[in-house]
Amino acid sequence: MDYMNWKVTDLKDKLRELGQPVSGKKAELIDRLQSINLQHPSCSGRLVIDAKPSSSRASSGFDSMTIPQLKAELTKYKLPVSGKRKEELVQRLESYFECQLTGPIDFDFIGRRPIELLMVAEKPSMAQELSHMLAQSSRVNRSSCSNDAIPVFRFSMMFHGYPANVRMTSTLGHIYKQEFGPEVTRNQTEELFEADVINTEANPEKRIPKMLAEIGKGSDALILWLDCDLEGEAICFEVIDCVKNVMIKPPSGNVMDVIYRAKFSSSDEATTAINNLVKPNFRYHLAALAKHDLDLRVGVSFSRYQTSLLRRAFPDRNIDHLSFGPCQSPCLHFCVKQHEKLEAYVPTYTCHIVIALDLGRYELEITSDPIKNQQEADKIYQKLKAEQRCKVVSVERTTHVKEPPKALNTVELLKDASKQYGIGPSETMSAAEYLYTSGLISYPRTETTRYPKNLNLQDKKNKLRRMLPSFPATQSGPALPAIGGRRVQMDDFEEPMDWETIVEKEEVYERGDDKGDHPPIIPTGKAVIRTLNSVQKLVYELVCRRFFASFMPEQRYHSEVTVFSAADVTFKRKIQEIDDYGFAKLLPWEKAPLTRDVPTGILSNGSQIKIKSIKISKTKSTSPTLLSEYELIDKMEKHSIGTDASIPSHIANIQRRNYITVNEETRTLVPTKLGLQLIKAYRECIPKLVETSLRADFEKQIMNIAKGESEFEQARRFILDAFKEQFKIFRNNFHKFTINFEGCFEMKVEGTYGRNGYRNNQNSYNQQPSSSLSVDKRKIIHASRQITDQKTRVEVAVKSNKPVSQYAQHKPFPAVYDRCEQQVAPKVSPVKRRYVILKTYLE
């Protein structure tokens, strides 16, 4: 590209966009841009990913930079820029990008005193598990920080040959969250793509940064035990920001030299992990930073615009915040497309001739091939009426072998829990995370489906055998719901568990794919704690079933396809029997379908079978069904919409925003009027954002940042510009479709919204109720306003002496509640129950 005619200000703006230093004369700026284009052709058009890692870290690149350039680089990554010596700045950058230890861990400079070690896990329960694993025979003393927000576990141990005093604590997840700066106003939308984003405390009432600094003061080293994924790595660097200024600096003066990362999948790997420490991965942190930044800018800008536009269009309607997300929109689109297939379905009918054959002890029905129309079927029927016998033309027997399942990963866990147990993705992940932090299963976020070679099956088998004597008929929860609304009958397999069939085989370790992230999800063998709720028990049971089933024999069955002929008309019948259930003893939903009416082996070629009856059967074509949860999860995985960790939250978001509802019996997803209209409008305005390609590119670029194949600022800028362009199209066209949303919202509660469509707090909470209402009704309205003021969703109003109510989340008035409770059926959900009670009383 020719930059000679560009102004200096334009050159600097372009460099700033690319995250490059902007100091220097015009000739230097041009040289810098041209060198970037040679290294990264993506600057001039579509983003091209190099096969090799980019120069986002390369040490030689840092060495060749000037001090202003190094400081600009540090600023870009939000790292400290203090220091005047070039060597100090280069060392700081290199220490952040270094992922492996450069030599043995050396603390000889400490002297004879024990090392003061600070360890930080992601959750308090995991901190407790790790403490007891690492302390071994040493005593673990528990205390708390000054505000009791997070626990502190103290114990002694040997750390790489040095005696150490350990303080193990935890975060509560992310310490910081990203928000727009105070200069950003509520009515800004497109400006958000370039607005400043700042970090604020995620739980300001807990004061986690201050507590970590208090606990970590005087530490010689820091070991990070956060979850081993992008988000966990991001939290690692949040922890580092909290404690780096209170730690004792090593002789090098760089605190990053004594900060380590433990890689583990379950608490029982703690000893192995601490003996194989690495450095925290800054590229993973940058990838998470880019993802959070982009999701914030894109989500808030689109959400604000569509919400404010619809509120202005329908000021008399109660319109909550209408969120938009680059993942949730394609997710909703999948649901709507399947709903539209169902709506457009026109049934077709097919005729068959069905003959009942008399086999003595058995009666067998055989069916003809499809017949075009009723008239043709009548002709064939008349021809067959004269036939007395049917001839067996051929009998073909086929043996089938169904392999045991691969090791369990996150997506398969979510699909099985929804399809077989009726548990939603968010509930499943919440239960799995609890099981993980309690030390019962390995890390539940993984794409890998191949077992590691060092898996000790016999040890886990022995431990779990003592705990699960009643497997597979465990008593941990209700019967398991299966496909089609039918429940799996666990009584089909009442025989005791045959533990001898669970054996290590070489082929088991060859199944599946190793994605290089975490091992698959397996039980650890730790004794089950008594505090598990019913969902946690079911998820744990599923993990155990899948684990042991994968080491069991194959399922073997055979089928027999018999071809019959009568009056030159061909009939077929398939009979299927299971020879060995194999792994299906533990996974009954995996058993092959059976035909129990007639056994195989009783028909032979040339046999003449007596015809008992003939009839014409008319069958209706199969109707499409709504998308089920597990089918949506499968589609999201195949199209790279979200990650194994984020898929549950995307599905939960579209449900929470009332874009879909979930049928609790079938786990199918039903789009609401609002969801349907949003997708129709998006298709016309921004079709790229409801299709899968743009978001899949988004996820790919994020992972390329993590792998060092894309430069952080370039990739972030490219994705941001793509969404910014789509927003301009959306802004120019969305208003054309607002009229279609009129029937999607209820009439708003009187006095709760102002003319601009936003909540009018003053009028909403302080307006006096009409004196014409009864005293009890006025009390209810006052009580509901008090609850609304506490940010609940209770909204009750009486207009023309008739209530207009939304779901009540709390008891609005105890006396009223108690008086009406007996009138409501006891089996309705609590939310619906409170609504009905209140509505009944008001009417």
Q: Tell me, what CATH number does 132's domain have?
A: 3.40.50.140
Helix (H, G, I), strand (E, B) or coil at 461: helix
Q: Answer with the one of 97, 130, 157 that is the final residue of a domain.
A: 97
Do 157 and 252 reside in the same domain of the chain?
A: yes
Phi, psi for residue 557 in degrees, rounded to 5? -150, 165
What is the Cα gyration radius of the chain? Answer: 33
Residue 431 lies in a domain: yes
If pLDDT is split at 50, 70 and 90, which confidence band does 777 have?
very low
pLDDT at 74 over 70: yes
Q: What is the mean pLDDT of residues 168-183?
A: 92
Residue 315 lies in a domain: yes
**What pLDDT shows up at residue 46?**
29
pLDDT at 36 over 70: no
Q: Are 285 and 538 in contact (CB under 8 A)?
A: no
**What pLDDT shows up at residue 492?**
41
Do 525 and 542 reside in the same domain of the chain?
A: yes
Average pLDDT, the chain: 80
CA distance 328 to 332: 6
Render pLDDT for 338-352 as a digit per residue (tens, 0 to 9): 999 999 999 988 999
Q: Which of these ranges, 266-270, 694-698, 771-775, has the smallest mean pLDDT?
A: 771-775
Residue 750 lies in a domain: no
289 residue type, one letter:
L
309 residue type, one letter:
L
Tokens standing for residue 807: 């779901």
CA distance 714 to 700: 14
pLDDT at 34 over 70: no
Q: What is the mean pLDDT of residues 92-115?
A: 83
- DSSP annotation of 257 reads G
Do 448 and 363 reside in the same domain of the chain?
A: no
Q: What is the mean pLDDT of residues 657-682?
A: 93
**What pLDDT shows up at residue 808?**
40
- 372 exposure class (CB count in 10 Å sphere: 0-12, 13-18, 19+): exposed
**What pLDDT shows up at residue 480?**
38
Highest mean pLDDT among 99-113, 211-225, 462-476: 211-225
Q: What is the mean pLDDT of residues 801-818?
A: 41
**What pLDDT shows up at residue 547?**
92
pLDDT at 175 over 80: yes
**Inter-helix orientation angle 712-733/673-685, to 10°:** 100
Given its phi and psi angles, is residue 439 left (phi above 0), alpha (psi -120 to 50 degrees) or beta?
Answer: left
H/E run at residue 775: helix 775-789
Do 168 and 268 reside in the same domain of the chain?
A: yes
**What pLDDT shows up at residue 596?**
67
- Of the candidates 480, 635, 458, 633, which has an alpha carbon nearest to the alpha carbon of residue 542? 480
Instruction: Dump strand ranges (E) for 581-621.
Output: 608-620
Q: What is the mean pLDDT of residues 375-394?
A: 89
**What pLDDT shows up at residue 16?**
63
**What pLDDT shows up at residue 486?**
31
pLDDT at 317 over 80: yes
pLDDT at 85 over 90: no
Do 535 and 562 reside in the same domain of the chain?
A: no
Residue with tokens 């969305």: 734
- DSSP annotation of 527 reads P
Tokens standing for residue 147: 């505000």
Do 367 and 449 reside in the same domain of the chain?
A: no
Do 608 and 632 reside in the same domain of the chain?
A: no
Helix (H, G, I), strand (E, B) or coil at 614: strand
Do 120 and 253 reside in the same domain of the chain?
A: yes
pLDDT at 53 over 60: no
**What pLDDT shows up at residue 522?**
92
Do 784 and 649 reside in the same domain of the chain?
A: no
pLDDT at 701 over 60: yes
Expressed as residue numbers, the domain containing 22 is 8-97
Residue 676 lies in a domain: yes
Q: Answer with the one of 685, 717, 744 that is the final residue of a domain.
A: 744
Helix (H, G, I), strand (E, B) or coil at 566: strand
Please confirm, yes or no, whether 540 is among the known catalytic residues: no
If pLDDT is split at 50, 70 and 90, which confidence band does 43 have?
very low
Residue 640 lies in a domain: yes
If pLDDT is split at 50, 70 and 90, which confidence band does 829 have?
low
If pLDDT is split at 50, 70 and 90, which confidence band does 815 have?
very low
Residue 295 lies in a domain: yes
188 residue type, one letter:
Q
Judge if the upstream peptide bond of residue 250 is cis by omega within 30 degrees of 0.
no
428 residue type, one letter:
T
Give per-residue burial for 384-393: e unless 16+ CB within 10 Å, then b: beeeeebebe
Q: What is the CATH number of the domain that holds 474?
A: 1.10.290.10
Q: How much is the pTM?
A: 0.73
Residue 783 lies in a domain: yes
Do 564 and 649 reside in the same domain of the chain?
A: no
**What pLDDT shows up at residue 273?**
92
Highest mean pLDDT among 80-84, 143-147, 630-634: 630-634
pLDDT at 702 over 50: yes
pLDDT at 159 over 70: yes
**What pLDDT shows up at residue 470?**
45
CA distance 425 to 649: 8
Question: SS3 helix, strand, coil % of the chain, rounded to 5?
Answer: 45, 15, 40
Do 526 and 579 reside in the same domain of the chain?
A: no
If pLDDT is split at 50, 70 and 90, which confidence band does 750 have?
low
pLDDT at 19 over 70: no
Count how many domains the chain has.
6
CA distance 712 to 173: 24
26 residue type, one letter:
K
Residue 217 lies in a domain: yes
Q: In percent, how much of the chain has pLDDT > 90?
A: 40
Q: Are 90 and 62 in contact (CB under 8 A)?
A: yes
CA distance 270 to 131: 9
Q: Answer with the one of 710, 744, 778 that is the final residue of a domain.
A: 744
Catalytic residue among 96, 176, 260, 443: 443
Do 123 and 88 reside in the same domain of the chain?
A: no
Render pLDDT for 606-642 as a digit per residue (tens, 0 to 9): 889 898 999 999 988 889 999 999 999 999 988 888 8
**What pLDDT shows up at residue 792?**
35
Helices (H) and strands (E) in the chain, counts: 26, 18
pLDDT at 687 over 70: yes
Tokens standing for residue 355: 């003959």
Q: Computed from CA positions of residues 798, 799, 801, 807, in that sequence, does the dihedral angle turn out positive or negative? A: negative
